[in-house]
Amino acid sequence: MPAIDAIDDLLGQHPRAGLGITPTPITKLARLSERFQCSAYVLRDDLTGFCLGGNKVRKLDYLIGDAIRSQADTLVTMKASSFSRNAAAAAAVLGLECHVVMPGSAQCHNPASGRLFDALGTRLHYIDGQAEDAVQQAHDMLIAKLRAGGRSVYVLHPGGSDAIGALGYVQAFREITEYSTDTGVHFDHILHATGSTGTQVGLMVGQNLSGYSTVITGIAVSQPADVQSRRVRELAATVSERFGLDWVPDNLVVDDQYLGEGYAIPSAEARSASELFARAEGLLLDDVYTAKAAAALVAYAQNGRIGTAQNVLFIHTGGNAGLFY
């Protein structure tokens, strides 16, 4: 069985804020397993238990822990996303200011998202236009202004996908190895949606440290495979340098066949998978992230990429069933 001491050594050096409820359950998808003719399981990270839940809570647990250790009193991030909404809730709970730089006007965004930010006391800064460079410039200027005014600012990378945020999924991989040890169920495949890359990098670090033999496949939801793979490698290099790991991700797998027309654009395959998961297992997916990863799982089972004697773990990374998109 895999060793987890190396994971514990790494995680033990970094404080957590205690935001989520972990470990999250791993359960067998009995009806889908029968349909797929393999043993399919789900890691229920939609049940991380803080604010809107999902994979961003795991990342924020370490990021906010790091912010507290650095004595920050202000958080700054960009864009209306599942990450920034959960970050706003973390700031409210811990008595921190939270600023979010938003592309476009208030009218460009889902009103439900705006109401949530308002309820949490978040300070939103709308920027004319949606060009990445304009948003980045406004973000950098805001940070400089806040620091000049005496605020201790902790900058949150969009999606929480930096070296500290990736620790959340090193922790998740530890939980997976512990489940395998306790139950004797070894996962031949692990499938998840990959966007800002922190989830995939964290899982891969956990695999490397533990020696657990599996194939981790990131299902691209925002970028083509070549671009997404480059981004994963870039964060992996940052993680290795930051934590002194002798690791290069030579087992990287990114599949962009289920991307459809692009980020946040629903695909027919994703909608079909979402309906299947809802009717067979009562699991609610979203068209932006989890439904596209589920579409891959359905296809892999149908085309034999996952064998009938194999165990596959689908990571449900949350997404609030698309309510805020």
Please tell me the predicted confidence (pLDDT) of residue 107.
87
Q: Looking at the predicted structure, is the pLDDT value of residue 198 above 90?
A: yes
Q: Does 21 have pLDDT greater than 70?
A: yes
Which pLDDT score is estimated for 10?
97
pLDDT band for position 325 (cuts 50, 70, 90): low
Q: Could you tell me where in the chain the CATH 3.40.50.1100 domains are found?
A: 5-52+166-322, 73-151
pLDDT digits (tens, 9 = 90+) for 122-150: 999 999 876 889 999 999 999 999 999 99
Q: Which residues pair with 220 in a beta bridge?
A: 194
User: Is the domain covering 73-151 a CATH 3.40.50.1100 domain?
Assistant: yes
Tens of pLDDT, residue by residue over 150-187, are 999 999 999 999 999 999 999 999 999 999 999 999 99
Band the pLDDT of 109: cuts 50, 70, 90.
confident
CA pair distance 325, 311, nearest whole angstrom: 32
**CA angle at residue 202 from 162 to 72, to 5 degrees?**
35
- pLDDT, mean over the chain: 95
Q: Cβ(72)–Cβ(135) under 8 Å?
A: no
* Mean pLDDT, residues 295-322 taken together: 93
Q: pTM to 2 decimals?
A: 0.96
State the pLDDT at residue 24: 98
> 5-52+166-322 domain in CATH 3.40.50.1100?
yes
CB 266 within 8 A of CB 304: no
Structure-token match 């439904």, residue found: 291
Q: CA-to-CA distance for 236 and 233, rounded, in angstroms?
A: 5
